[in-house]
Chains A and B, each alone.
Chain A
């Protein structure tokens, strides 16, 4: 499993992207991180050159729908539609459905526990989920 963690558009908030990148790396996933402010076209190119299985887009600016659309269109145009696209960030519930309709494989809105994201890429991690209803 190889993933390109990408920051499309102008948004400069990279805490989430870097946290997810570190967690996936620790779970044995091969991770490439683009750095900030990449255009959808640059991300598509990088994904093809790095031969990744998945592109993980991190967007906190609210522009997730148009940005995801442009990445998906770019992949199709380049004949790389087999690369799956997942999106994380400040995604309100109403937009999660819109993203899935566009062809986004998985949406991780704010508040998604880190182990849940890791499990989505490794097929394990249920055991490492936080204990619920823990009393401090």
Chain B
């Protein structure tokens, strides 16, 4: 009989029965939805009371272009936004910086000053729409700009729901938008969490991402283990500041992927929820049930998609949506079928949105809570996944804990090793991929012809630089200088940097100026290159 293995590496049996769940204490390990340890989901009635939010990742070109796409998706039933920024913005470089050449507006929208953020959200009421900001190294100033726009719109702070990603630890492992060394980077994460907890109580000031580490090549169990370890590191950071765990933990959130085998993904989330609940209650002493809840955006995983026969990715997206819904996601975002080729077309974005809508409205995935509970297979798999995650957490401890493992590059090396292993499995056919290493059709060679390619208009960069020049001309230069001076002074001391950052933002200081003021104090990260 064929040997079948989970992405986490353990073997899958051909048949499961009662003997496989003999060790499961249903009251203790599974329980009821909405109750500790939340294995079955964090809400009692889940989607029957509130369907998962659909939140496609969007952003390109100028803030005006992105604003237009936001409104297009909202007109088709998307109820929340998920903003992509270009690389100069993510790295704190202005659009007129020589290092930003050819990158302005390319993989997301360009933001240089508050004026751009005002244009991006013109006509979008920030007290009614929830917005994720995919920003990390620059999360503090970009979120400050967002809060400033909300304030100018007259939105009450307790009505503003935003989720800056603000997870710098995973950026050192995957995705790479780090700027400062590890310690000051962590300080900025904590400053934003603390400020938001006190001033914007419904914001989710960090979204802990296993997602990108998995995209970089790690296994399912590692994705959850590393995510939980990073969450624990942030909790410890806030406790060290003297905050009580229940002051901030209810607003911690997560971002994971579900692109693999459907049942393994479901088991990963069920195991992850119960491990997180136990960690928060038993290790960190949280008393509020909201602090025990693993709230997650579950997304696609473009790494599951293929350049060969790209329309097959539409089908893959439907299985990802199903896995995410069966996993109890609070929010779902899907990659688009053309992602391997281009910035998504409006048609591809709409197809992804329709996929989620069909999953919820027609396929019945939202009809009842945790429908796989009690399955011999899924309960056994949940237990096995929990053991694997604990094994991976122990491995992180042997690397010196998550922060040290990242600082030294040991974790990055392990992820790269897994990525290589996976690629070898694809090459050998051990991991099947349709139209890539099995069922390869005649048309595969001409792949991509059916994809509409996005062409970056060179005028985008020019328009952005022109607007930046105008803002620099029209602002009060002395006020900007004073604000940046205060930010630099504050960075040398221990105070929370959000107030001085907010002051600089409101004076229309550029993101590059704000970034540099802190770089002058903090220095830059040096990547430990290991593979």
Contacts and interface: CB of A to CB of B under 8 A. Distances in A.
Interface of B: 2, 87-88, 90-91, 93, 99-103, 106-107, 171, 174-178, 215-217, 303, 306-308, 340-343, 416-417, 419-420, 423-424, 426-429, 432, 436-440, 447-449, 451, 453, 456, 527, 529, 531
Contacts of B456: 62
Interface in A22-70: 22-23, 33-37, 39, 61-63, 66-67
B307 A11 contact: no
A109 B427 contact: no
A12 B308 contact: no
A interface, by DSSP: helix, strand, loop or mixed? loop
A109 to B, nearest CB: 7
Given A10-B88, A15-B419, A23-B420, A113 B102 contact: no
Contacts of B93: 10
A55 to B, nearest CB: 16
Nearest to B438: A134
A14 B2 CA distance: 34
A133 B438 contact: yes
B103 A130 contact: no
B23 to A, nearest CB: 31
A33 B529 contact: yes
A22 B423 CA distance: 11
A93 B107 contact: no
A39 B99 contact: yes
Contacts of A132: 437, 440
B432 A136 contact: yes
A133 B429 CA distance: 10
Nearest to A109: B307
Given A14-B216, A132-B440, 20 more contacts: A10-B91, A12-B175, A12-B176, A12-B178, A18-B531, A19-B416, A19-B420, A23-B423, A36-B527, A39-B99, A62-B106, A62-B107, A92-B341, A110-B341, A130-B428, A130-B429, A132-B437, A134-B432, A135-B438, A135-B439
B461 to A, nearest CB: 11
B420 A61 contact: no
B427 A19 contact: no
Pairs of residues from A and B, 7 with the lowest C-beta to C-beta distance, nearest first: A12-B176, A111-B307, A10-B87, A35-B529, A18-B416, A66-B102, A136-B432
A75 to B, nearest CB: 18
26 contacts: A10-B91, A10-B93, A11-B176, A12-B87, A14-B176, A15-B174, A18-B420, A19-B416, A35-B529, A61-B87, A61-B103, A61-B107, A62-B107, A62-B343, A90-B341, A92-B341, A92-B448, A111-B307, A111-B447, A114-B427, A115-B427, A128-B427, A129-B427, A130-B437, A131-B437, A136-B2
A21 interface: yes
A11 B87 contact: yes
A114 B425 CA distance: 11
Contacts of B215: 15
B interface, by DSSP: helix, strand, loop or mixed? loop
B176 A21 contact: no
A24 B438 CA distance: 25
Nearest to A21: B531
Nearest to B98: A39
Looking at chain A, what size class is its interface with the partner chain? 35 or more
B429 A111 contact: no
Contacts of B340: 90, 110-111
B396 to A, nearest CB: 20
A94 interface: yes
A35 B438 contact: no
A74 interface: no
A111 B432 contact: no
Contact of A12 (B2, B177, B449): B177
A13 interface: yes
A8 B22 CA distance: 54
Contacts of B87: 9-12, 61
B91 to A, nearest CB: 6
Interface string A90-108: 1011100000000000000
Contact of B308 (A33, A35, A63, A111): A111
A4 to B, nearest CB: 12
Nearest to A31: B531
B419 A19 contact: yes
A93 B448 contact: yes
B342 A92 contact: yes
A129 B88 CA distance: 39
A37 B343 CA distance: 21
Contacts of A11: 87, 176
Given A19-B416, A92-B453, A133-B439, A110 B307 contact: yes
A91 to B, nearest CB: 9
A3 to B, nearest CB: 13
Contact of A114 (B2, B343, B424): B424
A11 to B, nearest CB: 7
A13 B171 CA distance: 10
Nearest to A66: B102
Contacts of B100: 10
Contact of B531 (A9, A33, A113): A33
A63 B106 contact: yes
A63 B103 contact: yes
Of listed B171, B424, B451, residue having the most chain A CB within 10 A? B424
Contacts of A13: 175-176, 216
A131 B429 contact: yes
A63 B416 contact: no
B69 to A, nearest CB: 17
Nearest to A22: B420
Given A10-B103, A111-B306, A130 B217 contact: no
